[in-house]
Amino acid sequence: MTKANPAWSLPEDLLARIAARAPGYDADNAFCAEDLAELRAAGWLRIGVPVEQGGSGLGLAATARLQQELAQAAPATALGLGMHQVWVQAARSVSAQGGSFLQAVTDHAADDHLLAFGVSEPGNDAVLFDSSTTAEPDGDGGYRFTGTKVSTSLAPAWDVLSVFGKDTSGPEPRLVHGFVLRSDGDVEHLDDWDTLGMRATQSRTTRLLGVHVPAERIVRSLPVGPTNDPLVFGIFAAFELLVASVYVGIASRAVDLAVTAVSGRAGRDGVPRSQDPDVRRTIADVRGAVDAVALQVGSLARSVDEGEDLGARWFPLLVGTKARTVDAAQHVVDEAMRVVGGRAYAADSELARLARDVRAGQYHPSTRDSAARTIAAAELGPLA
């Protein structure tokens, strides 16, 4: 295992400034540019980079804990910048399995370059297992990519964008993965991110206009359909658990806000709300729900770090943990709003913003339905 720097942490004053900016980003539907600048300066983009390359060497479990902490201050900032951490942790996973094809990812992160995903496509429920984007060979090992990507987090600011598409020029179609640099051109972002929540991610629609990726930036060619390739596993594990960590952070913050609210408010009889048995039961239940999913995410992330061989159980566990965490977080936020009362419904209430942000979780892969299909197939076999 790569040596880690256990002293790295998110400075309290930085978290306070990030939390203070979050309402403005949300109200203005603006990208979290100042957050990115400060986090980059603090070494956030390098936390998963090996120490020998100037990073902190943090694994998936430590990164997940930091994601939870950042999400308590600003969920959208944590979700958006978490996409960079997904790539860094995917590269760590590939390296731990003896692969070197994502070394460029680690090198970019070591240079404080911001990495983003150009994977999701409209109508493509297969996600990493198929693509509607065209990958046209250039004859020299490179490709030109043409297609539309959606939910491209960090659209205003990425330095390096992952892309993948389908090459149908051979006897069998192949899914080709590579990386685009901002300077390459032939990439267009639409200014179309105006959503209920998670507004500061600015996850805009991206058009690939025949952008050329040379051979040295093509990292993988895989068959269409499910595969246990180290690239797919690395992305999948890091994505599911780091996204889940954001929702753990949201839920934890909602409980804290509810505790503060009921502790500082009395009923008509002068008795503090914190002494109401129904309120106490609700607070106990939601804190228990947060603890349960936090432990699941942490345990599974440690299993990734330790290279535990869970075989066919890996994918059901990953998708199930993400789906359960999102559902639990939405329940916790809703219950927190209920016990706090009408003040939580105000447009400028932090709980109201969390109630909008938390609903984004149901749209990130894997969705609840997709997770259920994966788990059912693992238990009952594939559908006929």
The closest of 64, 56, 10, 4 to 237, measured between CA atoms, is: 64
Kindly state the tokens that stand for 209: 């206009």
pLDDT of amino acid 117: 93
The torsion angle over the Cα atoms of residues 248, 250, 251 and 256, rounded to 10 degrees, is 120
Chain centroid offset of residue 346 CA = 28
pLDDT band (50, 70, 90) for residue 125: confident
The answer to whether 251 touches 289, Cβ cutoff 8 Å, is yes
User: Quick check: 162 pLDDT over 50?
Assistant: yes
pLDDT of amino acid 264: 77
* Least confident stretch, 52-66, 88-102, 293-307, 361-375: 361-375
pLDDT of amino acid 355: 98
pLDDT of amino acid 369: 92
* Least confident stretch, 25-39, 186-200, 268-282, 299-313: 268-282
Task: Compute how many other C-beta atoms are within 10 angstroms of the C-beta atom of residue 378.
Answer: 17
pLDDT band (50, 70, 90) for residue 126: confident
pLDDT band (50, 70, 90) for residue 384: confident
Taking the model in full, what pTM does it have? 0.95
pLDDT of amino acid 270: 73
The closest of 189, 183, 235 to 213, measured between CA atoms, is: 183
User: Quick check: 154 pLDDT over 80?
Assistant: yes
The residue-averaged pLDDT of 93-100 equals 96
User: Quick check: 84 pLDDT over 50?
Assistant: yes
Q: How high is the mean pLDDT of the chain?
A: 95
pLDDT of amino acid 5: 52
pLDDT of amino acid 302: 98
pLDDT band (50, 70, 90) for residue 15: very high
The residue-averaged pLDDT of 199-204 equals 98
Q: Per 3-state DSSP, what percentage of the chain is helix, strand, and coil (rounded to 5)?
A: 55, 15, 30
The closest of 52, 111, 117 to 85, measured between CA atoms, is: 117
pLDDT band (50, 70, 90) for residue 124: confident
CA pair distance 28, 179, nearest whole angstrom: 31
Query: 162: burial class by Cβ within 10 Å (0-12, 13-18, 19+)?
Result: buried
User: Quick check: 334 pLDDT over 50?
Assistant: yes
The residue-averaged pLDDT of 181-187 equals 96
The residue-averaged pLDDT of 267-296 equals 91
Query: Tens digits of per-residue pLDDT, 305-323?
Result: 999 999 999 999 999 999 9
The residue-averaged pLDDT of 152-156 equals 95
pLDDT band (50, 70, 90) for residue 6: low
User: Quick check: 4 pLDDT over 70?
Assistant: no
User: Quick check: 145 pLDDT over 60?
Assistant: yes
- Long-range contact list for 34-41, CB < 8 A, 24+ apart? 35/74, 35/77, 35/81, 35/200, 36/77, 36/81, 36/114, 36/157, 38/14, 39/14, 39/81, 40/112, 40/114
